Amino acid sequence: MNKLVCTAIVAALAACQADTKNIEKKLDDQAKDIREIKAMIAKGGGGAGAAAKGQQQQREEADPNAVFAVDIKPNIKNGMIHGPEAALVTIIDAWDDACPYCARVVPTLEQLVKDYNGKVRVIYKNLVVHPQQVQRAHLAGCAAGLQGKFLQWQTAWWDKAYKPYQESRDGSKLSEEAFMSWAPTIGLDAAKLKTDMDGPECQGLIKNDADELRKFRVGSTPSFFINGHYMAGAMDINGFKQIVDRELKIAEASGLSAAEYYDKAVMGKGEKTFRAAGAPKQ
């Protein structure tokens, strides 16, 4: 099968959808899309257009050349950042705390920050697609950030909550009662954590993240913006590095510093709403 199509099919499946009420229908539809893509290839068609159809079955394809100006300042303020505060390449990770694909991509993102040694940062944005399970966990992540421990929280969450849940399928592993029991072991003030979870700052951050991502029609996790360029679904590290290397060359040639690149090149010149492939620049 065409490599591009394979990649698109994997990306389409390697994501948690916002609408979880019709999972079986979605899987049937995805299987139908894959069959259609294969048929198009057999007839000599396909390519990028067919791949996009499979990947974007319920989402119009984003223009691959568009730079989307996604606001990251609230997340940096909250400490939802891995890597340097300023970097030439910014990876935005829209994640959900009950998404298996989000869990799988965590080591990849950590490795990217390490390998690029100060040139790449990851900014985390909340997109709660499993609200019945992890709405409170996302609020706790924000509250942990207010104590300067967001990354410690996320590491502990995947290890102490989500991994046991995957192994047992016991939903109580994801509960507030469960995570409040181990929160002090990573240095969190449990009483302050609970207060901040219910406070306006964290309630507002979770909502604002969803609203910001909705402007760019992001509806599944994980989804990424790499210096403003959108991609859906988890990729392996080599796939990420191809994009990061390209964006790093562009950023280095711009003459802008790491401290000003995202603000000036992405927020300053990027598009403030979604643009579909083939649509005129706004």
Beta bridge mates, 81: 123
Could you read off the pLDDT tens digit of each residue along the chain, which spans 282 residues?
444 334 334 454 568 876 444 434 443 444 444 444 344 434 443 333 333 333 343 357 899 999 999 999 999 999 999 999 999 999 999 999 999 999 999 999 999 999 999 999 999 999 999 998 899 999 999 999 999 999 999 999 999 999 999 999 999 999 999 999 999 999 999 999 999 999 999 999 999 999 999 999 999 999 999 999 999 998 999 999 999 999 999 999 999 999 999 999 999 999 999 999 989 887
Amino acid 60: pLDDT: 78
Amino acid 33: pLDDT: 43
Amino acid 31: pLDDT: 44
- Specify the amino acid at residue 120: V
Structural domains for the chain: 3-55 (no CATH), 73-267 (3.40.30.10)
Q: How many other C-beta atoms are found inside a 10 Å radius of the C-beta of residue 116?
A: 19
Element (H, E) at 121: strand 120-126
Amino acid 158: pLDDT: 98
Give residue for tokens 């400490």. 79
Give residue for tokens 């502990």. 156
Beta bridge mates, 221: 16
Could you give the angle at which helices 47-55 and 3-13 cross, rounded to 10 degrees?
10
Reference 93, options 64, 120, 61, 130; nearest CA is 120
Amino acid 18: pLDDT: 63
Beta bridge mates, 91: 122, 226
Amino acid 59: pLDDT: 55
